[in-house]
Amino acid sequence: MIISIALVLFSALVLLLLVRLARGQYIATRIGESPADQLRAVDLEAFRNLIDPTEEEYLRSRLPAEDFRKVQRERIRAAIDYIGCTARNAAVLLSLAEAARHSSDPEVAAMAVKLIDNAIRLRLYALQAIPKLYISLFLPLGHFSHAAVADRYEQMIRHVVLLGLQYPIGGISSAL
């Protein structure tokens, strides 16, 4: 009985931690640092190339098996870095969107809500994708589709640009 209660409490704490991570509440802001300085550049085309299954098949057909495994591990590590950057950027933008959500302008508030939704979804996708990629480093079980991360990031960028046109967010869209 005690073990069951401990497991339930542990599960609830883990769930709470995941929700807080997804909402971006653990991104520390440095004093005097603007949000644009906290963002990491993400080359979306390079990221899409890394997660493209046809590119993987092309490399598999052209390279010897040992070379392909080395290249594939490097591609997976790079994809993990890209997904980590997109998740971090989403957390920074989430904190900005929270402030914009309370705007008196209904268009700004609506755009901020859309940005919040996309940022949370992107962080949840990242929380799912990164462990899968780490597993695929050691156990090549097949290709996992991570296009949702790239698609959400692209949508988030569009919302940042639209929000930036209506609400002063200080050079954020140029940092993405």
The pLDDT score that the predictor gives to residue 53 is 84
Nearest to 142 by CA among 59, 57, 30: 57
- Find the mean pLDDT for residues 24-35: 52
Mean pLDDT of the chain: 77
- Find the mean pLDDT for residues 34-40: 69
- Find the mean pLDDT for residues 59-71: 90
Q: What does the radius of gyration of the chain's CA atoms come to, in whole angstroms?
A: 19
Type of residue at 120? I
pTM of the predicted model, to two decimals? 0.69
The pLDDT score that the predictor gives to residue 107 is 83
Say yes or no to pLDDT of 64 above 90: yes
Say yes or no to pLDDT of 90 above 70: yes
Say yes or no to pLDDT of 39 above 80: no
Confidence of residue 13 (pLDDT cuts 50, 70, 90): confident
Q: Give the range of the structural domain holding residue 16, as residue numbers without chain letter.
A: 2-175
C-alpha triplet 44, 159, 77: angle, nearest 5°: 25
Domain count across the chain: 1
The pLDDT score that the predictor gives to residue 89 is 86
